[in-house]
Structure formats: C-alpha cells, structure tokens
Amino acid sequence: MAFYPLVRPFVFVLEAERAHRLSLAGLGALSATGDAETFDPVLRTRVANLDFANPIGLAAGYDKDATAPGQLLGLGFGFVEVGTLTPLPQAGNPRPRLFRLVEDRAVINRMGFNNGGQQAALKRLARPRRKGIVGVNIGANKDASDRIADYVTGVKAMADVASYLTVNISSPNTPGLRSLQDKGALDDLLARVMEARGPLGPPVFLKVAPDLEPADIDDIAQVATSHHVDALIVSNTTISRPPLKSTHAGESGGLSGAPLKSLAHQRLRDFRKATGGSIPLIGVGGIASAEDAYDRIRAGASLIQLYSALVYEGPGLARRIADGLKALLERDGFANVAQAVGSE
C-alpha cells in the first residue's frame, strides 16, 4: 500500500513532463479492465442520467489523448475525463511548461492544449466498448478562426464515444479562450453546441474558471440553465497567485493543487447559490483527501474530480478517497452520496 512514498523521490528527480509521460506509458502497458465495479453501494450515484460507481473522477489534462482511460478506471476512479482534445493536433507551448511546486503541493502548467487531435483519440476510444464512464473534454485550436465552430466539430466528432462531453472554455493557456465565458459569447456557444449534440447525444458539461467576478457567475449560471447544460465543472486552474513558497511560483500558467483549494471551494458555493441547485455541480481544485472530497460534496458537488494530488499522493489515491468517503458518509448517517450533496 505504502509503495508510492518510496518511489516518489525517484519520480521527482525527473523533469515534470517526462515523469508524466512515463507514468502514462506505464499505465498503458497494464491491461485495462475498464470497470469500476468494486465499490460499496453507499458510493453509487446518478448524475445526468449516468450511473457512477463512486463520485471520484480523474480531471482533464492527465490523459489528454485518451491512451489509458480503462487503466485509469482500474485505479479506482468512478469516472475519467480525457482531453482537452482539439479538432486538429497541436504541439502546445514550448517546454518547460509544467512545474511541480513541491513545497506548496501544487502544480503550474502552461501546456497550451498539446494533443494529438480528436480523430486519433476517436480511434482509441472507439475500440473496446467499456462499461466505465469516460468523458471527453473538448476545446478549440489556438489558431482557429472561428472558435465556436471548433466546439461544434468536437461535439460531432466525439459524441458517439463520450459518456459525456465537457465544453472547456476555462483554460488560461489559450489566449482569449476564457472570453467565451462572457454572457453573449457563451449564449452563442451553448446554442450551437446543444444544436450539434441534438436530442440523442450525451450529456454536456461546462467547465469554468475560478477567476470570476460575482456578476460573471450569475451570468454563467443563467445562460447554462437556459441551455439545459447537464453539469457545471467548477473549476479549472487559477491565474491568481496566493502566497507560494516554491521557486517556481513566478512561472506563468494555471495554478492547481493545494493553493487552489479554498478558491475552488468558494466558487463551488457561489455556483450552488447562483444556480439554486438546478444544475449538478462537479467540484475540482485542490482535492487531496476523503475529507476534502466530502467537504466539496457537502458544499454542493454531486461529483468531484482531481489531478494535482495524484502527483503527490500517487496512484492509490482514488481508492483511498473512496474508502474514506464511505466511512464519512456512514459516520454522518447518509445512505448515499446524493443525500450529502449541499448538506453543509
């Protein structure tokens, strides 16, 4: 069980992006069960007409190209989100572009949607029909002349292989992308995305930034509700810089991990208030333990996701959180996750 603390020093000697690639290659070499079956019924939950074996998801950005979703489900995640995938392959920003802030248990990245494109991922996702929930996060190419058209392309390309689609308009590393969160642009984007998805397509989730003013939050909540968005993912990385100790603190890009926790938690509360509970929320940002997951659920999250904590806690984290969350739900007398949502 306590395997990762032993190997972590060796992993941390490697440059961060290289360590990431190696971890993904290692996972890819394992055989995929693709199942998320062995969880207590108390952890089961239904959101957007999907049945989750547990509410703990892997956030977008770890497996951008959908190379090992089955193996990742095998680590104990209740769902895995692949991407961000853009219509055309793109290289992303020059390296180095990924930094561990060890003293802060944080990460800064300015990857810039490096990915092999939707068509390559489509082939991989189409191969085995898996039972587990695999969401596909879609974005726009950096040089797209019509960014909204890129989301429409993504919906059409990926709908058949996605348990759900995430419209990501909150990456700080594609200049101007987050302006799609502005009311008029968002209204236009969601109208076109929902039309492309049609009545039979998968649920559509919208992923937002944590760096929003109260008026933006109200606008997004209103537009998302009017277009019947199936869930809001709160949130992506932050461009803000809370006090940090690490030498990499000055790197540009999106900050994630422990220093994002309180901001992401507050934004979840804000969206809960703004939506009046009418849209399911997925809490992301700085979640590293069962207590963090439980707190986010009680603040209104129907599901949670994580990424950065994996770097520090290792591949056993999803299962540990699942076990701990079961104990916390039972301690407080909840029969299931749904009962605890928003109970704080």
Ligand X SMILES: Cc1cc2nc3c(=O)[nH]c(=O)nc-3n(C[C@H](O)[C@H](O)[C@H](O)COP(=O)(O)O)c2cc1C
Other CB atoms within a 10 A radius of the CB of residue 335 amount to 11
Which residue(s) pair with 255 in the sheet?
Answer: 108, 238
Contact pick of 84, 118, 174, 275 for ligand X (by CB under 6 A): 84
Catalytic site includes residue 171: yes
What is the DSSP secondary-structure string of 287-327?
--SHHHHHHHHHTTEEEEEESHHHHHH-TTHHHHHHHHHHH
Distance (Å, whole) CA 41 – CA 329: 12
The one segment of 7-15, 46-54, 103-111, 329-337 that binds ligand X by CB under 6 A = 103-111
Residues 171 to 230 in contact with ligand X, rule: CB under 6 A: 171, 207
| Helix residue spans in 55-111 (DSSP H) | 69-74
Q: Which residue, 109 or 153, is less far from ligand X as judged by CB?
A: 109
**Contact call for residue 64 and ligand X (CB under 6 A):** yes
| Helix residue spans in the chain (DSSP H) | 4-13, 16-29, 69-74, 118-126, 147-158, 183-197, 214-226, 261-275, 290-298, 308-313, 317-331, 337-340
Distance (Å, whole) CA 72 – CA 310: 12
Classify the phi-psi angles of 314: left when phi > 0, otherwise alpha if psi is within -120 to 50, otherwise beta: left
Taking the CA atoms of 267, 268, 271 and 276 in sequence, report the sign of the dihedral they define: negative
**Contact call for residue 136 and ligand X (CB under 6 A):** no
Name the active-site residue from 163, 170, 171, 302. 171
**Smallest distance from the beta carbon of 3 to ligand X, in angstroms?**
21
Q: Which residue, 42 or 318, is less far from ligand X as judged by CB?
A: 318
Query: Under a CB-based contact definition with an 8 Å cutoff, are residues 165 and 197 in contact?
Result: yes
**Contact call for residue 90 and ligand X (CB under 6 A):** no
**Contact call for residue 111 and ligand X (CB under 6 A):** yes
Contact pick of 308, 326, 337, 341 for ligand X (by CB under 6 A): 308
**Smallest distance from the beta carbon of 336 to ligand X, in angstroms?**
24
Binding string, residues 140-179; x marks residues near ligand X by CB under 6 A: ----------------------------x--x--------
**Smallest distance from the beta carbon of 207 to ligand X, in angstroms?**
5
Contact pick of 53, 73, 75, 107 for ligand X (by CB under 6 A): 107
Q: Of 143, 23, 154, nearest to 85 (Cα)? A: 154
Contact pick of 174, 236, 275, 302 for ligand X (by CB under 6 A): 236
Contact positions toward ligand X, by CB under 6 A? 59-61, 64, 83-84, 98, 107, 109, 111, 137, 168, 171, 207, 236-237, 256-257, 260, 284-287, 306-309
Q: Which residues are catalytic?
A: 171
